[in-house]
Amino acid sequence: MNSPDAFQPPLRPPARGQVFRYEGFAVDGERGLLTCRYSLDGRDFAERVSLAPGPNWDSDAALAAARIVFLLAGVSYYKTAAPLVIDLGGTALTERERAFLREFYLSGLGEYAYRNGLDLSDLRIEAPQAPDAPQAPDARQAPDAPASPAADTREGNRPLIPFGGGIDSIVTVEGIRQRTGDIALFVVSRPGDRFTAIEQPAEVARLPILRAGREIDPQLLRSQELGFLNGHVPVTGIISAIAVLAAVLNGRDAVVMSNEWSASAPTLEYNGRPVNHQWSKSAGFEASFRDLLKAGQAGLPDYFSALRDRTELWVAEKFAGLTQYHGTFRSCNRAFHIDKKKRLDHWCGQCDKCCFIDLILAPFMSSDQLHKVFTTGEPLDQPELKPKFQTLLGAGTKPFECVGEVNECRAALVLAADRPDRRETRLLQELAAEVTGRPDAPTAAETEAMRHPVGPSFVPAAYSFGDT
């Protein structure tokens, strides 16, 4: 595991608040609106989630799903001062919910705590005790079970697929399309805002889109002015909860994520705990969230990642064959800037994410193809980016980004360097010489293994891509 040598948290931890309170939530079916209210030491916050209006908002399943959104969305407001106590007020928690929520805060805010020099292990959750409901056995395998498709016990295939416009969600869409035609994409954005980087590949997919508007309290956009602490939150967990609510309202039987195997790999260790930028994309989160959904009696949709047992190398090879998306996909974070004036309509070609996507696709797409993707300059053609690639390959701390695991990157590098059209890519060949000269260089067998499923998943047989 990498040591935190690229960044050191502040020597003196910042002052923390006293109590963060969950004030309550309300649904308005006529307006299609969920409002979640919180407070911290007397300061009030409100978050609003808008979806299609309709009678289903009053169903037991919708109210149960809305409650989960309420529980998870609070983390965005807690982080403003990270108090010692979280008070749920009149919202009772079962032991399972209490344990899940505590882990959601501790692990989900691992990067935030590290960057702010905080120790959140003393966090207390105060809530009335609710009895645990009987839990139906899960017919699908747990993360430590043998890697084989599990029997599907649900009727119907009407999946909802959260879609971000990158290679992972595109590969999921096209894989699931082979199993069912009744697919809807799910997109979350600020009300009235749309990201070209999502809309363009979604047009290529030619599937209906369910949209949610997530309106965070405007005070969060004034964090520096108001003296708030800031940092990464487990946003994929929040999006997952909103997707479950959207699936309930639309009669969908499953929320199908696109989180692959390496999302479970920690970035570093801090205060004796692993810190993972992608924690809410990890196998651990997936298993716990599934338990939360099936713990009640409301009959909430299934939830699983279609790519849990697939490496980024496997995903990249599949994506390379989906040429219809090559002109529209984008994963560069600068395409998703909140400030539209700073939002790019192309890959920046400089950031860690651009470097990773270039590297992972290089074994399977030609140099000419990738030059057309990175119109301002392919990262592998820029010698000044060598330190970024070296970090991806294990020299120093893994970036706090949604990038692959070190061994995936090394395998991609070795495969790319062997391509005839890459013999003159100087930076690529220099990096390959460095990696292949190390005692831990990937063997041919290890590289080949990464092009196939590598572990267990919760994917039901009805949605399985198979073993290729």
Cα–Cα distance, 381 to 451 (Å, whole number): 25
Tokens for 24, please give them. Answer: 């309550």
Q: Do 319 and 335 lie in a common domain? A: yes
CA 425, distance to chain mean position in Å, is 32
For each of the chain's 468 residues, which pLDDT tens digit applies? 444 444 556 656 678 999 999 999 999 999 999 999 999 999 999 999 999 999 899 999 999 999 999 999 999 999 999 999 999 999 999 999 999 999 999 999 999 999 999 999 999 999 999 987 655 444 334 444 333 333 333 345 899 999 999 999 999 999 999 989 899 999 999 998 888 889 999 999 999 999 999 999 999 999 999 999 999 999 999 999 999 999 999 999 999 999 999 999 888 888 788 899 999 999 999 999 999 999 877 799 999 999 999 999 999 999 999 999 999 999 898 878 777 888 888 899 889 999 999 999 999 999 999 999 999 999 999 999 999 999 999 887 788 888 888 899 999 999 999 999 999 899 999 999 999 888 888 888 999 998 999 989 999 998 987 665
Domain presence at residue 145: no
Provide the pLDDT for residue 138: 45
| pLDDT value, residue 8 | 58
Q: What is the pLDDT at residue 312?
A: 95
Q: Are residues 104 and 247 in the same domain?
A: yes
Q: Is there a single domain that holds both residue 331 and residue 296? A: no
pLDDT at 139: 37
On whether both 91 and 105 belong to a single domain, the answer is yes
Domain count, the chain: 2
Those residues with Cβ within 8 angstroms of residue 266's Cβ, 6 or more apart along the chain or in another chain: 1, 274, 275, 276
Let me know if residue 141 belongs to a domain.
no
In a domain, 441, yes or no: yes
The number of C-alpha atoms within 13 Å of 30 and in the hemisphere containing its C-beta is 0
**What's residue 2's pLDDT?**
42
Same domain, 390 and 245: no
Q: How many helices and strands (H and E) does the chain possess?
A: 16, 12
Same domain as 333, residue 277: no
Query: 372-402: buried (b, 16+ CB within 10 Å) or exposed (e) per residue?
Result: ebbeeebbbbbeebeebbebbbbeebbbbbb
- Answer whether residue 2 is part of any domain: no
Check whether residue 372 and residue 295 sit in a common domain: no
In a domain, residue 10? The reply is no
Distance CA 450, CA 170 (A): 20
- Residues spanned by the domain of 438: 312-449
Answer yes or no: is 413 within a domain: yes
Please classify residue 192 by burial: count the beta carbons closer than 10 Å to its beta carbon, then call 0-12 exposed, 13-18 middle and 19+ buried. Answer: exposed
- Does residue 335 sit in the same domain as residue 441? yes
Tell me: do 249 and 368 sit in the same domain.
no
What CATH number does the domain containing 207 carry?
A: 3.40.50
73 and 107 co-located in one domain? yes
- CB-neighbour burial class of residue 336 (10 A; exposed 0-12, middle 13-18, buried 19+): middle
Closest CA to 3 of 385, 408, 306, 274: 274
Q: What tokens appear for 382 in the block?
A: 């820029």
90 domain-assigned: yes
Q: What residues are paired with 426 via a beta bridge?
A: none
Of 301, 303, 282, 302, which is closest to residue 104 (Cα–Cα)? Answer: 282
- Indicate the pTM of the whole model: 0.91
Write the DSSP symbol of residue 460.
B
Is 42 a member of any domain? yes
Dig out the tokens for 256 from the structure.
């199908």
Same domain for 263 and 366, yes or no, is no
Same domain for 429 and 287?
no
